[in-house]
Structure 1
Amino acid sequence: MIVPARRLAALGVLAAALTACGTPQAPPAARPAPARHTVAPAPVHPQPQPQPPTLAPGPAGLTPVFTHGPRTPDRTVALTFDADMTAAQGARAARGEHFDNPALIRTLRALKVPATVFMTGRWAEQYPAQARGVGRDPLFEVANHSYSHYAFTGGCYGLPTVSPHRMRADVERAYTAFREAGVEHALPYFRFPGGCQDERALKELAPAGVTAVQWDVVSGDAFATDADAVARQVLDGVRPGSVVVMHCTRSAAPATERAVRTIVPELRRRGFRFAKVSELIGAATARH
């Protein structure tokens, strides 16, 4: 059949259109994404810890010694507890002797009594969870009682002695033990084992930058079994600004927790307010 020229032309146009529709087209050139302006997150800075108050060095640059706070009418008193354990008592702990006193800590919390715990490094190693719990509780503060609980002078209640060139290292080893147990903010306060000190010990510790903290009220709780006698001794001795020394060691001070349950309400009845040692030192420095 002969197709007229006009129809041929129309068919040609249609075929061209169909061919064009079936041919893949090159994609349009990709356009660059618009610039996005992001805000970098603000850097996270840990909150700085306030610097605890310390005393200025004593005469000839010796370690300063603090025994009590100001004798002011506000009737403030600090209860302090020595968590004693010598470097050689690990075997006794393994046999079941308790150098900790969790019941005492629970009682202090229940009574809402702020306190300062002078801890040996060896105690922190033996009871890391308890050391960490005390160190993180805002009711308490942790200070240094040496690593080994060896004496820093001769003739100190039969304790072994630390040689002079090892005194500073013993204190610094305790701080290391605290950090490893999770106690992050142990204070720069040091209590001599047995309370025994002399000029040589104060000189050897001067580079450590600590304030030595002693006391003016002896509780008599060491090895005591009569809680009432311990309580009477504390109540008879306390004055405004007093620092009371007690112990956080079940085996060596079994009556302490019971004595505290008598001491605290009676001192409150007399108008006393409980404070940490750092508060008393801060009050003392503010007066000078």
Structure 2
Amino acid sequence: MQISRRSMLIGSVASATSLTGCSSTSAARPSSRPSASPSTIPATRAATTHLVELRSREETVAKFDAMKPTYWGFDAPGVLTRFPTDGAGKDAVALTFDACGGHVLRYNAELIAALRKHEAKATLMIAMQWAQHNPTTFKELLADPLFEIGNHGTRHVPLSVSGRSAYGEPGTRNVGEVWDELAGNFEYQATTWGHRPRFMRSGTAFTDDVASRAADFAGQQLISFGTDGDAGATFPAEIVYQQVKVAPAGSIVIGHMNRPASGTAPGYDRAIPALKARGLTFVQLSEVL
């Protein structure tokens, strides 16, 4: 997708190293880890603080285009799966939910209702396609202080510099396309809604090590996960409950909010009280990173 290549303001990105999916055709996570026009709706929340400039496409390509990747998977260097458990992160977990692009652009209102009922903060990683398809819901979620909105990509594809695929989804083919994938959705959220996301999870959560470094350099902190809550919204409610209730402090937990006919909502509805009973609280990513 062609978008403006001008510099754009985004939330600052903390320098990080690795501390250790979502797909439109969801599949369980592998057991091993391989090497209405929205412009008519006004913004409802002020831009985030601590703003810096997104580096340009040209500068990002020039720095990384000659590099060859050596890793492909969920945990590329610099992609976060956990957060520090001191300060605001003490005895806390970060619930994150993907609103994926592709062919499944529905809304799990029951899940959001459960988060509100339990007053559980969460970071919602929203793809541009999903936001454009659900502008009224996006506006509502953006206005709710319980939620932080993140970037889940422009086309919702894996971040690769060589066109690698994950779950049958072809990834970006070079550094320029990596920049387009992160910057397109960022620009959409910034110009249409006045919101500048700090964090990004790639489509399927797969990333190679050159793409992860390029994304960080460009200005988006890539997020993966430490606890898989629903395997792309394929787990039944009981398994979601069992997975989420044992998440350790400091874990980034992944779930999905675009598949309402799944076990995700009832599973989290049971798991959140179980996490609270263990003395854990819930944080947005920007509170701990």
* TM-score between the two structures when normalised by the length of structure 2: 0.69
Q: Which residue of 1 aligns with 2:83?
A: 69
- Residue 82 of structure 1 and its aligned partner are, at CA, apart by 0.5
Letter in 2 for 1:278: S
Q: Which residue, out of 167, 170, 175, partners 1:160?
A: 170
Code of the residue aligned with 1:112 in structure 2: it is E
1:277 is matched with which residue? 285
Q: Secondary structure at 2:165's aligned position in 1?
A: coil
Is contact 1:221-1:256 (8 Å) kept?
Answer: no
Provide Cα deviations, 1:228-266, integer angstroms capped at 9, x if missing partner: 111101223x11111100011126x61111111111111
Structure 2 portions without partners, runs of 5+: 1-9, 19-62, 65-75
Match status 1:178 vs 2:189: yes
Partner of 2:131: 124
Does structure 2 retain, via aligned residues, the 8 Å contact 1:146–1:190?
yes
Out of 237, 253, 278, the residue aligned to residue 244 of structure 1 is 253
Q: Which has the larger radius of gyration?
A: 1
CA distance in 2, matches of 1:264, 1:142: 20
**Given that residues 217 and 244 in structure 1 are in contact (C-alpha distance below 8 angstroms), is that contact kept between their aligned partners in structure 2?**
yes
Q: Does 1:82 align with 2:41?
A: no
Which digits, 9 at most, give the CA deviation of each residue in 1:96-130, with x for residues without a partner? Answer: x6522122112211221110000101111000111
Deviation digits for residues 56-92 of structure 1 (CA, Å, limit 9, x no counterpart)? 2669999832221224593111100000012xx3xxx
The structure 1 segments of at least 4 consecutive aligned residues displaced by more than 6 Å after TM superposition are 59-63
Letter in 1 for 2:106: F
Matched, 1:134 2:141: yes
> May I ask how many residue pairs the two structures share in their alignment?
219
Structure 1 letter corresponding to 2:243: Q
Change in 2 beyond 3 A, CA 1:260/1:203: same
**Residue type matched to 1:109 in 2?**
R
Change (3 A) 1:186 1:100: farther
Provide, for residues 251-284 of structure 1, a one-character-per-residue CA deviation record: whole Å limited to 9, x for no partner: 6x61111111111111101111111111121xxx
Return the alpha-carbon distance in structure 1 between the equivalents of residues 200 and 208 of structure 2. 14
Q: Does the Cα contact within 8 Å between 2:13 and 2:220 map onto a contact in 1? A: yes
Note the 1:1-288 alignment, pairs <5 A: 54-56=13-15, 64-72=78-86, 74-86=90-102, 89=103, 98-153=105-160, 154-164=164-174, 165-179=176-190, 182=193, 184-224=194-234, 226-236=236-246, 238-250=247-259, 254-281=262-289
Alignment check: 8 A CA contact 1:83 1:118 kept: yes
Q: Post-superposition shift, 1:53?
A: 5.9
RMSD: 2.6
Deviations 1:167-224 (A, max 9, x none): 1112111123324653x22322111221211122123324421111111111134242
Q: Deviations over 1:113-149 (max 9, x none)?
A: 1100001011110001111111111110001110111
One-letter code aligned to 2:84: P
* Contact 1:226–1:255 (CA under 8 A) maintained in structure 2: yes
Distance in 2 (CA, whole Å) between partners of 1:186 and 1:230 is 31
Change (3 A) 1:55 1:244: same
Structure 1 CA distance for aligned equivalents of residues 78 and 248 of structure 2 = 22
Distance, in Å, in 1 between the alignment partners of 2:16 and 2:90 is: 27
Greater percentage in helix:
1
Q: For 1:198 and 1:111, how far apart are their aligned partners in 2? A: 36
8 Å CA contact retained: 1:125, 1:177: no
AA partner of residue 200 (structure 1) = V
Supply the AA of the counterpart residue of 1:177.
Y
Q: Which amino acid aligns with 1:139?
A: L
> Does the C-alpha gap of structure 1 residues 268 and 57 become closer, same or farther in structure 2, counting only changes over 3 Å?
closer
Contact 2:229–2:244 at 8 Å: present in 1 too? yes
Amino acid at match of 1:81: F
Q: 2:94 touches 2:252 (CA, 8 Å); kept in 1? A: yes
| 8 Å contact kept, 1:63–1:209 | no
Aligned counterparts of 1:206 and 1:229: Cα–Cα separation in 2? 34
